[in-house]
């Protein structure tokens, strides 16, 4: 089964500008397709696999609806940018399971590099329903227990990484 991997970011930038910063700071390639979508990718660092890791950088449209009910709130809601991580492996001898493992490693590498080099609050999420890790300038990095969700049942674990905005549009966490 294919898993999706996302790094959610709080950048205070339009997606195209966030992608430019990502590419520049991570030594990655920035591309744009005919529809104007932006992508950031770089070579895979797995010794036995050749290929690219990265994906589309876009506005976070996965968040809660306006005026959400308490059970619709998620830690993802305050993050303005989503970076979808995929892997394109060129070696035919690499199995599907190995590609999934490589994608997990590459997503974690992107997450770590982003937090170390850009200082943007970030979340690493699998399948949009498992919170793997979070980082913020104020609270550092937390790697969550297996099965932690970005949803209200696990609020006590991730509450320090929730970003809220005031009526004036100011957030409780400043992006660098």
Domain range annotation of the chain: 5-161
Q: Number of helices and strands (H, E) in the chain?
A: 3, 8
Q: Give the pairing type, strands 5-9 and 122-126.
A: antiparallel
The pLDDT, as a whole number, for residue 176 is: 35
Q: What is the pTM of this model?
A: 0.90
Identify which of 85, 87, 89 has the alpha carbon closest to the alpha carbon of residue 49: 89
pLDDT per residue over 75-106, tens digit each? 999 999 999 999 888 877 778 888 888 899 99
Q: Has residue 167 got a pLDDT over 50?
A: no
pLDDT band at 52 (very low <50, low <70, confident <90, very high): very high
The predicted pLDDT at position 128 comes to 94
CA dist 23 and 26 (Å) reads: 5
* Confidence band of 69 (pLDDT split at 50, 70, 90): confident
pLDDT > 90: percent of the chain: 70
Q: How far apart are CA 149 and CA 163, in angstroms?
A: 16
Question: For residue 142, is it left (φ>0), alpha (ψ between -120 and 50) or beta?
Answer: beta
């Amino acid at each position: 089964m294919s898993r999706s991997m996302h790094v959610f970011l709080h950048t205070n930038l339009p997606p195209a500008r966030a992608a430019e910063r990502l590419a520049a700071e991570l030594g990655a390639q920035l591309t744009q397709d005919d529809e104007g979508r932006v992508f950031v990718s770089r070579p895979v660092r797995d010794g036995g696999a050749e290929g690219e890791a990265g994906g589309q950088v876009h506005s976070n449209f996965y968040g809660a609806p306006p005026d959400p009910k308490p059970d619709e709130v998620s830690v993802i809601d305050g993050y303005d940018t989503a970076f979808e991580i995929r892997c394109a492996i060129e070696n035919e001898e690499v199995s599907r399971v190995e590609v999934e493992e490589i994608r997990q490693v590459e997503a974690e590498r992107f997450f770590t590099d982003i937090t170390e080099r850009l200082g943007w609050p970030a979340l690493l999420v699998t399948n949009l329903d498992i919170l793997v890790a979070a980082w913020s300038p104020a609270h550092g990095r937390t790697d969550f227990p297996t099965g932690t969700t970005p949803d209200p049942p696990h609020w006590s674990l991730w509450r320090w990484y929730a970003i809220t905005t005031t009526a004036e549009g100011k957030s409780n966490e400043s992006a660098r």
